[in-house]
Amino acid sequence: MHNVTANGAEIPALGFGTFRVSAADTLRMVPAALKLGFRHIDTAQIYGNEAEVGEGIASSGVKRGDIFLTTKVWVSNYAHDAFLASVDESLKKLKTDYVDLLLLHWPNPAVPLAEQIGALNAVRAAGKVRHMGVSNFNTALMAEAIALSDGPLVTNQIEFHPYIDQSKVIRAARAAGLSLTAYYAMADGKVFADPVLKDIAAAHKRTVAQVVLRWVVQQEGFVALSKTVSEARAAENAAIFDFALTEAEMAAICALAHPDGRIVSPEGLAPVWD
């Protein structure tokens, strides 16, 4: 496994995601993922499983300092005082005195972005957060957040899979030194029936999931989040660093993108997408 370097952060290129993972499955899968070699765990306040992530890390036998832990502040906690209180609550649940990366989960125009970024910098200055970032930000919001922040932002976590064109956000992030963290890489399961992906997987004697995750991490500055409640699939997902896709295969997967490829765009949260 390699790390992605972004504005001073060293982020493991493959993370284990916990979105829509139940409490019981989180307790089981976080230690299992760490045993398999994952060193990046991603959660969020709104997922409702921070406590189980914390318990899973504590019971794993892996030192806290060897794990890159990400969580995200929910939009209802963006006012300054609520933000600080929510981070303290997250740390308590996660059984740690710091997180490696804290993200603003979605844009929320009801609270000035300057206030959100100010609170983000405050918890970093207090030593509760090592690195800062955003999630689901378009290029305009990303530029505004960077301009408002005293410290560097290190990632924008975005929907990214073979069917979505995120080239504008990717270019803007790279120009600013940010990494991109890909969620929904399997496109809600659509990738598994794709003939192009199945052919590439067969050529490498790999699974489609392995090919898609490899496609993500083989791109400059990209971190991939993988999620499963199966130990066997988690082991497969971890095994993507001993093969490489050809330039032609990378291009063939990129060519699957189409204008209406976005899947995640919740009303009331989504910005005006690029």
DSSP H helices in 126-257: 139-148, 167-175, 195-204, 208-217, 231-238, 247-254
DSSP H helices in the chain: 23-35, 50-58, 80-94, 113-125, 139-148, 167-175, 195-204, 208-217, 231-238, 247-254
Q: CA 33, CA 244: separation in Å to the nearest integer?
A: 22
Please check if 204 is assigned to a binding site. no
Phi and psi at residue 67, to the nearest 5°: -115, 135
At 55, list the tokens: 């318990």
Is 47 noted as a catalytic residue in this protein?
Answer: yes
Expressed in angstroms, the distance from the first to the final Cα of the chain is 31
3 state DSSP class of 71: strand
Exposed/middle/buried for residue 136 (C-beta within 10 Å: 0-12, 13-18, 19+): buried
Cβ–Cβ under 8 Å, residues 136 and 269: yes
Q: CA 249, CA 137: separation in Å to the nearest integer?
A: 29
Q: CA 182, CA 186: separation in Å to the nearest integer?
A: 10
DSSP bridge pairs for 129: 99
SS3 content of the chain, % helix, strand, coil (to 5): 45, 20, 35
Q: Which residue numbers belong to the known binding site for substrate?
A: 105
Q: Which residues are catalytic?
A: 47
